């Protein structure tokens, strides 16, 4: 165990700000609020997963399994596109091993509940959104450790990757199955209670993130912004934005309708940051991970802001075209109805003329006989 205590210090000093990261990690670990923060993260994750399970209906799940487009999109978006994107960004910005592992963890996470809320605001396909979130969460049990193992090979000779607890990651993911299964059961037995729990889980997501920002900022001290490299902030901005673009492009390749493209876009870019935070907090020592514990929180901040801009742009520009398409369908129906009424009127007038002509024909022989 004595030999394992030395690598974290080496890991902290490997990056450009390695010394400060290690120092912040020690401060972070010595704080009494650290244990309470771990409990908060665990509870928040359980509530989020419970709400996700409550949003899944067995009938819809069966339909999606018979036509597994949502499952395929979740597989390609969350475990092909996003991990590769995180890996490339870590290489382009030349991150040290600690920051790279934090970015990879976030990129390999399944979809988050934020995408379900945003899909409602952009008139997306809610069934597709929920199925993609649920299926990516289940697939993460096997694919997330695999993706981490594949993409961390570039930093294999560093201490933090050698200590990467893939077993603990799998255990944390496995622990999420119980609240998901309980939520599915509640949806099946008590639909009204399930609807209430879904709303509670969405609010808990917001509250948990705000509390994590406040507590983590307090525990890490006022030098937090200086300790995190600018490249990490750049990745936190670019990664969700690129994820939204990749998701939209993926849905376009599958020739999906516009409302489904918006849904897949949000599902791909919105990661389960609560799960990423829980893994970083529960599986890595504070001295090892340092201020990179903040990366999923930064990602949550920017993914929410960018998704909000997405929704705002849709409300300002896309909503009108969506209404026009809907009205166009109604106008087509009205035009068909008007044509039908006109034909009925024409038929009636034609019958009247025929009757008058028939009467006039009957009258002509009478005049001749006189």
Cα–Cα distance for residue pair 259/310, rounded to 1 Å:
13
Task: Check whether 108 has a pLDDT greater than 50.
Answer: yes
pLDDT digits (tens, 9 = 90+) for 358-368: 444 444 444 44
The rounded percent of the chain whose pLDDT value lies above 90 is 20
pLDDT for res 156: 80
Mean pLDDT of the chain: 74
Instruction: State pTM to two decimals.
Output: 0.71
Residues contacting residue 23 through CB under 8 Å, at least 6 positions apart: 12
The answer to whether 212 and 81 are in contact (CB under 8 A) is no
Instruction: Give, for 45, the enclosing helix (H) or strand (E).
Output: helix 33-54
Could you state, in order of their start, the residue ranges of all structural domains in the chain?
41-316
Task: Check whether 145 has a pLDDT greater than 70.
Answer: yes
DSSP assignment letter at 294? G
Cα–Cα distance for residue pair 111/119, rounded to 1 Å:
13
pLDDT digits (tens, 9 = 90+) for 207-244: 777 777 676 666 655 566 667 888 999 999 999 999 99
The tokens describing 261, both together, are 């493209």
In CATH, the architecture of 41-316 is Up-down Bundle (1.20)
pLDDT for res 51: 80
Most confident range, picked from 286-300, 318-332, 344-358 = 286-300
The rounded percent of the chain whose pLDDT value lies above 70 is 69
pLDDT for res 231: 92
Place of tokens 């009925």: 344
Which range is least confidently modeled, 128-132, 168-172, 261-265, 323-327?
Answer: 323-327
List the Cα angle 226/278/28 in 5-degree steps. Answer: 40
Residues contacting residue 59 through CB under 8 Å, at least 6 positions apart: none
β-bridge partners, 271: 111
pLDDT digits (tens, 9 = 90+) for 78-89: 999 999 999 999
């Amino acid at each position: 165990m004595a030999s394992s205590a030395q690598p974290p210090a080496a890991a902290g000093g490997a990056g450009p700000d390695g010394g400060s990261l290690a120092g912040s990690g020690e401060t972070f670990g010595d704080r009494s609020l650290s244990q309470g923060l771990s409990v908060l993260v665990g509870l928040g994750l359980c509530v989020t997963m419970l709400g996700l399970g409550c949003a899944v209906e067995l009938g819809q799940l069966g339909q999606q399994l018979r036509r597994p487009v949502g499952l395929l999109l979740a597989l390609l978006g969350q475990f092909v596109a996003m991990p590769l994107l995180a890996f490339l960004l870590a290489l382009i910005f030349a991150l040290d091993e600690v920051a790279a592992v934090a970015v990879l963890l976030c990129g390999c996470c399944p979809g988050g509940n934020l995408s379900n809320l945003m899909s409602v605001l952009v008139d997306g396909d809610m069934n597709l959104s929920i199925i993609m979130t649920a299926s990516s969460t289940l697939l993460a049990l096997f694919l997330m450790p695999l993706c981490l193992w594949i993409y961390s090979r570039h930093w294999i000779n560093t201490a933090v990757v050698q200590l990467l607890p893939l077993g603990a990651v799998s255990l944390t993911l496995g622990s999420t199955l119980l609240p998901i299964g309980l939520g599915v059961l509640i949806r099946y037995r008590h639909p009204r209670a399930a609807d209430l729990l879904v709303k509670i889980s969405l609010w808990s997501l917001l509250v948990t993130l705000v509390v994590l920002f406040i507590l983590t900022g307090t525990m890490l001290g006022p030098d937090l912004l200086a300790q995190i490299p600018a490249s990490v902030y750049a990745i936190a901005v670019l990664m969700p934005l690129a994820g939204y673009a990749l998701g939209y492009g993926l849905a376009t390749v599958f020739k999906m309708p516009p409302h489904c493209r918006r849904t897949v876009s949000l599902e791909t870019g919105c990661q389960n940051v609560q799960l990423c935070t829980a893994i970083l907090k529960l599986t890595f020592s504070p001295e090892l991970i340092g201020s990179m514990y903040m990366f999923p929180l930064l990602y949550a901040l920017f993914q929410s802001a960018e998704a909000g801009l997405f929704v705002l742009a849709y409300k300002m520009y896309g909503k009108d075209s969506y209404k026009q398409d809907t009205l166009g369908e109604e106008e087509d129906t009205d035009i068909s109805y008007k044509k039908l009424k006109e034909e009925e009127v024409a038929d009636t007038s034609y019958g009247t003329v025929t009757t008058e002509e028939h009467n006039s024909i009957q009258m002509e022989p009478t005049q001749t006989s006189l």
